[in-house]
Amino acid sequence: MIIKMHAATAPRRVAFLGLGVMGYPMAGHLACAGHQVTVYNRTAAKSAAWCAEYSAAVGKQDLLSQAATPRQAVQGAELVFCCVGNDADLRSVVLGADGALAGMQPGAIFVDHTTASANVARELYAQAKALGLHFVDAPVSGGQAGAQNGALTVMCGGDRAPFDAAEPVAMAFAKAFTYLGDSGAGQLAKMVNQICIASMVQGLAEAITFGQKAGLDMNLVLDVIGKGAAQSWQMDNRGKTMVADKFDFGFAVDWMRKDLGLVLDEARRNGAQLPVTALVDQFYADIQAMGGRRWDTSSLIKRLK
């Protein structure tokens, strides 16, 4: 567990829905910042484990609790944070008799960190607004390590006032929490992020493969070119692990394909031409066929060997 040093923020009553590899540490940072946190997860054992771990860490068991449904989890919360898998998962925790919107108090804010479609963000924004609630789409970048270190980059869409209210609390797990425009803008910005990553990883995979076939010491080459114009986060954090043929560092191929599917769907709607992204998406399909569904995204190099 990594506990982030937090700037002073008045304790708030919050809920966190979804305790996967991202949500678990994100909710933990909220607890460590002194907030009263109620968690919900489809697998209740995960919620119980989270409460036990962070109650021991913060020493205030009465501030942390778990709930059996999203509706129960959000009751009395000023802010509701969520991080689940996809559009369908998001609707399942937000809508319906046991969903979050059914239990939130008037004026409460729902901040969604799921990487989902811009369409579902706008849909849920409208549903929340009709009930006197607020919805902010706020997908994150930084991966599992960013969540654990409290250093995520958060891209937000929605109304400005709820964004401003959520920002100081969300900084418990973020290094940047940025407003980008109307509902859906956060999700669209995350799509831009994934387009960049896909092309960068493929380029890095080709470069390393070329260098290895040319007989170069690629660890040394990466040290050299990483000080110049070729430098990138992917090179710094995944270059040498790609050389070492290691691919268990977080964001999985299955999740990248889900994200690129959202990108390509949106591109069909807005007319953007994304030939490289579409090609890399198919390369990731090759990795899935090789059995690499849970390998991290740098495994693109495997299909070149």
The reply to whether 206 and 57 lie within a common domain is no
Last residue of a domain, one of 165, 182, 199: 182
The reply to whether 218 and 105 lie within a common domain is no
Last residue of a domain, one of 147, 182, 217: 182
Alpha helix (H) residue ranges in the chain: 23-32, 44-58, 70-74, 87-94, 100-103, 118-130, 143-149, 160-170, 185-213, 218-225, 233-243, 253-270, 275-289
Overall domain count for the chain: 2
CB neighbour class for 10 (10 Å; exposed up to 12, middle 13-18, buried from 19): exposed
Pairing of strands 134-137, 140-141: unpaired
CATH of the domain at 202: 1.10.1040.10
* Cα–Cα dist 125/226, whole Å: 42
At residue 14, the pLDDT reads 98
In which band, very low, low, confident or very high, does the pLDDT at 8 lie, cut at 50, 70 and 90?
A: low
At residue 1, the pLDDT reads 59
Whether residue 6 lies inside any domain: the answer is: no
Whether residue 290 lies inside any domain: the answer is: yes
The reply to whether 82 and 175 lie within a common domain is yes
Q: Which of 182, 166, 69, 67 is nearest to 110 (CA)?
A: 166
Catalytic residue annotation? 190
Give 85's DSSP letter: S
Whether residue 101 lies inside any domain: the answer is: yes
Residues 6+ positions from 276 with CB-CB distance below 8 Å: 198, 199, 202
Each residue of 143-163: b (16+ CB within 10 Å) or e? bbebbbbbbbbbbbbbbeebb
The reply to whether 240 and 106 lie within a common domain is no
* Cα–Cα dist 303/173, whole Å: 35
Whether residue 5 lies inside any domain: the answer is: no
Residues 125-134 pLDDT 10s: 999 999 999 9
Whether residue 8 lies inside any domain: the answer is: no
CA separation, residue 77 to residues 18, 112, 216 (Å): 16, 15, 57
Please give the residue range of the domain that contains residue 159.
Answer: 13-182
The reply to whether 31 and 164 lie within a common domain is yes
Whether residue 67 lies inside any domain: the answer is: yes
Whether residue 76 lies inside any domain: the answer is: yes
**Taking all residues of the chain, what is their mean pLDDT, rounded to a whole number?**
96
* Contact predicate 17/89, CB 8 Å: no
Residues 261-283 pLDDT 10s: 999 999 999 999 999 999 999 99
The reply to whether 159 and 139 lie within a common domain is yes
The reply to whether 218 and 257 lie within a common domain is yes
Last residue of a domain, one of 182, 205, 223: 182
The reply to whether 217 and 265 lie within a common domain is yes
The reply to whether 199 and 60 lie within a common domain is no
- 223 Ramachandran zone, left/alpha/beta (phi>0; psi -120 to 50): alpha
Whether residue 258 lies inside any domain: the answer is: yes
Q: Which of 249, 247, 240, 244 is nearest to 287 (CA)?
A: 247
The reply to whether 54 and 86 lie within a common domain is yes
Between these two residues, 238 and 10, which has the higher pLDDT value? 238
Q: Measured in whole angstroms, how far is the alpha carbon of residue 7 from the centre of its chain?
A: 23
At residue 82, the pLDDT reads 98
Residues 67-98 pLDDT 10s: 999 999 999 999 999 999 999 999 999 999 99
At 154, phi and psi to the nearest 5?
-115, 130
In which band, very low, low, confident or very high, does the pLDDT at 249 lie, cut at 50, 70 and 90?
A: confident
The reply to whether 86 and 133 lie within a common domain is yes
Q: Which two tokens stand for residue 268?
A: 């069909």
CATH of the domain at 99: 3.40.50.720
The structure tokens 């509701």 sit at 80
The reply to whether 139 and 259 lie within a common domain is no
> Does the pTM of the predicted model rise above 0.85?
yes
Type of residue at 245: D
* Cα–Cα dist 302/305, whole Å: 6
